[in-house]
Structure 1
């Protein structure tokens, strides 16, 4: 009898344990029902943008410098001054350069006087040559006549010798006069060269004097002044910059730094919008006008300068402002689109399965599995998997091919997805409660432990 009661109690306890486990399992399954947040697939527009930062600059900026050294005597323009081409904007002390001009003029007068003297010497040399030629002719006649008289015995031999000596002397004087003529011609050419040299030096001095007056080369606005009255500027290998003049502030450009990953999507003529910190509520519009090929490398990061032309008629934009630029690289309207959150979603069951398989495989097999998981559903470019709810409320994968994206929504080019269908973007089950139930034993088991 006692044994029967003992066996009966064992059976009862066993049935209670079995029932408790069954009840706990059903309760866990009921509490772990998955719930998902979905979004309907709809049609709309997508604007694909490339974002970058840049600096606002005038289209044409002229750096006004000086080609001569000296002390700034006067300034006739200041910051924000409107200037016209040819207008005097600064004056360098011209005293030294005026003295050089006077010296150059004196040197020119001296060279011209030397030229006149050389011409007079040439005239004198030509006259001496003519005189020598006449003397040669005269002595020649006398010699010939004395030779005839000597043959007749009319004159003595000494007279003949004297006439011959006179002739030889006249010929020598003619050679001397000829040499003097050539020397006079050379002196004349040298004097002419000195005159031209003096004229050139005078032009240099006059040009340097003209350079002491600084004039604006263009019509524009002075945006920078780098000197003050009394300051000494030295023009050596590089001309110092006195003023920076913007030719036209109503037309500005934004020099943006676009990364090398995005530069392939940029084209001339694309629309662009940007904001500046000074007017955060105003959206300025522009258009891509140039794509510079010269790379800009900063800390191994390569960017390219994309120039955006901007209309600045209201003069709100100032040179040097930082612009946050968005360039419209693609725009489609009336297309099928889904939120990007749907592309990032994966059911927890798929994640657990993938984790289990990865730990079940070896290191090589794990790598192969990872590569296979990455390539799953990507047989062609843009192919992705998203998840939709089946009729029984379970997530089902659907393969689609994506087009352009704006970071929040992506275009669906093809796939088993239609307008109005709901895609899963988030799992909303009570994971915390399920975790606590999994970690805690059933109540009756805890009671038995006592």
Structure 2
């Protein structure tokens, strides 16, 4: 095997090669330093402008804006259930009825009594008929003959019995004479007023009977859907016991609960992002329309009730569906933003580290709105400044 022999280098050539190598190494070092000074570290971000909002999270349930639990003031046995859950009703529609035999009888009797009193008044106001006059005249003639006979009997044989018969005959004559005068001359003003008062009294009795009869029927107060029937046919129910519930399903809202630690930031009119458990991934736009002033205890926490109106779009939203709410309490457009990881505490204040020649420096900043990921910087930095993240 032949060996390869390299040409021998003189000192001048070796010096040139070494110089070239040293220059290359120095050039690489200078390039790395310059690049490090001109390129920001990978753990920096630029202060940017953008939109940011703060929100309060809450929960709630879908309910109807208009609903009613219905009852009757009287007790009784449920005779019939006319409408069932899911049935639509209009104002006045009967939902169920109690047994009302005695109440119906009193109503019919009141109707007949009014008709009788009205007939008496009509007769009293009308002109006398010839046949009525003849009847009254005949009764008067008969009574006159009877008193004459009674007087003769007493005169022939005075006795207690004949005296009593004579007094009865006189009374019959007075009645017959008064009846004849009434028929021929018409009723007096006072008698007409008495008949009129009787009609008014009968009308009041009928209205009272009608109201009592109405109280045996449970009717719908407005256009709605029956959502609950709380009784069964044949069941004995007490007065004012809940019998049924109706609701207008065309107008829904969300009954929300807001924790006491968040309620100070919540106001009527704020926008709400609604998510319903029944429709994962769907978002519905809403607005806070009511915030109740008094707190209540729920599951060991103090909460405030609120109402959210929302656009259910074309979804089949139903009563009682659970809702997760994001109430937008603050919205800022074009704010200076940095990631929350760029913020650090300096005493009681906030600061960021800004890249500067030589080494990063701390800059005290005034912060504003935060959404949990980014924070608004009110003062202290400018758009485009490079800040360190996660230091």
Structure 2-normalised TM-score? 0.62
Query: Which of 202, 222, 226 pairs up with 2:226?
Result: 222
| Corresponding pairs, count | 289
Counterpart position of 1:123: none
**C-alpha distance in 2 between matches for 1:312 and 1:81:** 22
- Quick check: which one's helix share is greater? 1
Provide closer, same or farther for how the CA distance between residues 111 and 250 of structure 1 changes in structure 2, counting only shifts above 3 A: closer
Question: 3-state SS of the aligned residue for 1:241?
Answer: coil
Offset of residue 415 of structure 1: 0.5
Shift of 1:228: 1.8
Shift of 1:399: 0.7
User: In structure 1, how many angstroms separate the alpha carbons of the residues matched to 2:94 and 2:119?
Assistant: 38
After superposition, what is the alpha-carbon deviation per residue over 1:184-216, rounded to whole angstroms, capped at 9, x for unaligned? x99999997776555433322222212323322
* Correspondence for 2:205: 201
SS class of match (1:332): strand
* Aligned mate of 1:71, from 61, 66, 77: 77
Deviations 1:53-84 (Å, cap 9, x if unpaired)? 12211111122322332222222221121222
Q: Which 5+ residue runs of structure 1 have no aligned equivalent?
A: 1-34, 117-184, 351-372, 378-383, 427-450
Superposed counterparts of 1:95-114, under 5 Å: 95-104=101-110
1:90 pairs with 2:56 = no
1:257 has 2:261 as partner: no
Secondary structure of 1:202's match? helix
Give matches, 1:83-232, under 5 Å: 83-104=89-110, 196-232=200-236
Q: Match of 2:54, SS?
A: strand
Q: Distance in 1 between matches of 2:365 and 2:313?
A: 47
Query: What are the superposed Cα offsets for residues 316-370 of structure 1, whole Å, 9 maximum, x if unpaired?
Result: 2212222110112222233211122233x46xxx9xxxxxxxxxxxxxxxxxxxx
User: In the aligned structure 1, how far is the partner of 2:387 from the partner of 2:351?
Assistant: 14
- The answer (yes or no) to whether the contact 1:90–1:213 under 8 Å persists in 2 is yes
Aligned residue number for residue 28 of structure 2: none
Report Cα offsets for 1:280-311 as digits up to 9, x if no partner: 2111111222333x312317854333321123
SS at match of 2:331: strand
* Structure 1 residue 424: Cα displacement: 3.0
Q: Offset of 1:114 from its aligned partner?
A: 11
**Contiguous gaps of at least 5 residues in structure 2:** 1-40, 123-188
Residues 367-416 of structure 1 deviation map (CA, whole Å, 9 limit, x = unaligned): xxxxxx33xx3xxxxxx2233455445x5321111121112111111103
Distance in 2 (alpha carbons) for counterparts of 1:112 and 1:417: 95
Match of 1:408 in 2: 373
